[in-house]
Amino acid sequence: MTSTAPRHDWTLKEARDLFNLPFNDLLFRAQTVHRQHFDPNEVQVSTLLSIKTGACPEDCKYCPQSGHYNTDLEKEKLLEIEKVVTEARSARERGASRFCMGAAWRSPSKKDMPYVLDMIRQVKSLGLETCMTLGMLREDQAVELADAGLDYYNHNLDTSEQYYNHIITTRTYQDRLDTLDNVRKAGMKVCCGGILGMGEEESDRMGLLVQLANLPQQPESVPINMLVKVKGTPLEDVEDMEPFDFVRMIAVARIMMPESHVRLSAGREQMNEQMQALCFMAGANSIFYGEKLLTTSNPEADSDMQLFRKLGIRPEQREQCATEEQEEEAIAEAVEYEATRHMFYDATRESA
């Protein structure tokens, strides 16, 4: 069977026609594409840690970290590097191959960058892939992150360009595209997807996938989130998304972006095992692993492993693994850094 190659000329009509296929036909087509590019019984596992929580100046209507809404979220300053390294080591021991770090910033400041760069180096020394989401990036900031060894940068488009201003007004759609361009120019891999169930129309969902698929280079990782409604945000009472429509979106994403990891992201705690299994059948081959995604809950690691066993799924393994000596060296460097950081500007002492 001829392998499907990524296309960059998808139309809204084509995406809609795929979405509206009979359910079994759509899943068969998605699974066929999936098997051409991936092991169908292997899922990439990532762990996500919030390294700076709350008081974000952006007004994303879905986000409890926005400083514009009263969500009773406890603000946290930038985590100490030793804490981040310890969490990364624990994540690897639980089976994660990628460690993602997120900060509630519009963009990283000059004073924060040395801490962020050191986090990357020390987490990477544990043998993990590294990913960060820090907001918008200038070209020079992207180069700094790449030089420190960052593998992936996450910057979601969230929704279609047409619906975008209904969700966010403090940064433009073009701002997001510019950041993705800067990440690519710096040589990093892109993690970029969106959120479903924010009150958008079907055409907006198709528009999001068309935008992602038609990027000059498709994202290596495509997180598909189901909205987690948080009390205090403007979207707390939005109507729930039809579960079968979510599965269909996973399948269409797989067909349109055949070489990308399609990640089953936020919202999994609201999904039963059967729905998650359908998503894996539809082509999802990546999850976030752990009890928390930044500030929202996620299925416990044990329940994920139980589901994997029921489905005969195994976590994707990285070829590169840190030696015990490298692990100890990373921890020692973090401890030494914490012991001497009083000699330098301390971003972790800034108020959240």
Task: Compute CA 246 distance to the chain's CA centroid, rounded to the nearest angstrom.
Answer: 17
Instruction: Choose the catalytic residue: 89, 254, 263, 268.
Output: 263
Which residue out of 89, 100, 192, 279 is catalytically annotated?
A: 100
Q: Is 254 annotated as a binding residue?
A: no
Is 100 part of the annotated catalytic residue set?
Answer: yes
**Would you state the structure tokens that stand for residue 295, as one six-digit string?**
């500030």
Distant-in-sequence, close-in-space partners of 128: CB < 8 Å, separation ≥ 6: 88, 91, 92, 96, 97, 98, 99, 318, 322
Size of the chain in residues: 352
Is residue 192 among the annotated active site residues? no
Alpha-helical runs (H) found in 135-288: 139-147, 173-185, 202-213, 243-256, 273-281
Crossing angle of helices 202-213 and 12-19, rounded to 10°: 120
Distance of CA 315 to the CA centre of its chain: 17
Gap between the Cα atoms of 158 and 171, Å rounded:
12
Q: What angle do CA 323, 328, 334 make, to 5 degrees?
A: 130
Rounded distance between C-alpha atoms, residue 193 and residue 170, angstroms: 19
Which residue in 29, 60, 92, 268 is the catalytic one?
60
Active site annotation includes 321: no
63 is in an annotated binding site: yes
Q: Please give the Cα distance from 352 to 350 (Å, whole number).
A: 6
Identify the DSSP state of 309: H
With contact defined as beta carbons under 8 Å apart, do 69 and 16 qualify? no
Instruction: Report the C-alpha gap between 96 and 315 in whole angstroms.
Output: 8
Residue 100 labeled ligand binder: yes
Whether 131 has a binding-site annotation, put simply, is yes
Amino acid at 256: M
At 82, give phi and psi (nearest 5°). Answer: -60, -40
Tell me 258's DSSP state.
Answer: T
Residues forming a β-bridge with 263: 223, 286
Q: Which of 29, 98, 171, 191 is catalytic?
A: 191
Q: Which residues are catalytically annotated?
A: 56, 60, 63, 100, 131, 191, 263
Residues marked as binding?
Answer: 56, 60, 63, 100, 131, 191, 263
- Residues belonging to the binding site for [4Fe-4S] cluster are 56, 60, 63
